[in-house]
A and B are shown apart, each in its own frame.
Chain A
């Protein structure tokens, strides 16, 4: 197991285009999180899955954002009609038992909207 994988590492897109990111968590982890991080800031919570169920969504997750985890394994985060303000690092984390084992983060997807 190589940890949490995110794809792509970098994405440059024109404003108005749609983008989709993928996260493959550690295989036995049932919890998966998406966070967004802008330069010089700490990560901001976007959404959380337990298995395939999306249990929590931040107000930051506007109607242009949608996340799925169809089989309780990998997850996708889609941004429709991208805006320049969407430029950020999108981090995925997974966990089995966060109270005891913490979270493992992926390396993130850097999105630049031009």
Chain B
């Protein structure tokens, strides 16, 4: 069964601190993995997209890693800001079919 699991479910950190979010998946055959940021009441916004051959990709203070062998990905946020407070969703696409699979997200709260 194709599944995407994220941890932790929620996280509270102090402004300026770093944090790492995890995504484990069983989707196969694998095509790509995306991290999205979703503010409350808004649609998801893409942060990074990684294919099978990519191990790491950065977008500003966001760095995503991918280990396709262990089927794990992480999203590292550096020097967190209050505006980073949101849900972070991992989305995995197989290279067959038309669906993509969402994790349930990590709710991040950055406090001053």
Query: Could you list which residues of chain A lie within 8 angstroms of chain B, going by C-beta atoms?
Result: 4, 6, 31, 35, 40-45, 48, 50, 55-56, 89, 91, 93, 98-108, 110
CA distance A42 to B92 in the complex (A): 12
9 contacts between A and B (CB under 8 A): A42-B103, A44-B102, A48-B98, A56-B98, A98-B31, A102-B32, A103-B100, A107-B43, A108-B43
CA distance A41 to B105 in the complex (A): 8
Excluding A56-B98, A98-B100, 12 further A-B contacts by CB distance (< 8 Å) are A31-B98, A40-B104, A42-B4, A42-B89, A42-B102, A44-B102, A98-B32, A99-B32, A102-B34, A102-B49, A103-B34, A104-B46
Contacts across chains A and B counted by CB atoms under 8 Å: 60
Q: Are A105 and B44 in contact (CB under 8 A)?
A: yes
Q: Are B93 and A48 in contact (CB under 8 A)?
A: no
CA distance A6 to B49 in the complex (A): 24
In the complex, which residues of chain A have a beta carbon less than 8 angstroms from the beta carbon of B93?
A: 98-99
Q: Which interface class (under 10, 10 to 19, 20 to 34, 35 or more) fits B?
A: 20 to 34
A31 to chain B, nearest CB (A): 8
Interface string of B65-105 (1 = CB under 8 A from A): 00000000000000000000000010101010111101111
B81 to chain A, nearest CB (A): 22
Which one of A41, A91, A101, A102 has the highest number of Cβ atoms from chain B below 10 Å of its Cβ?
A: A102
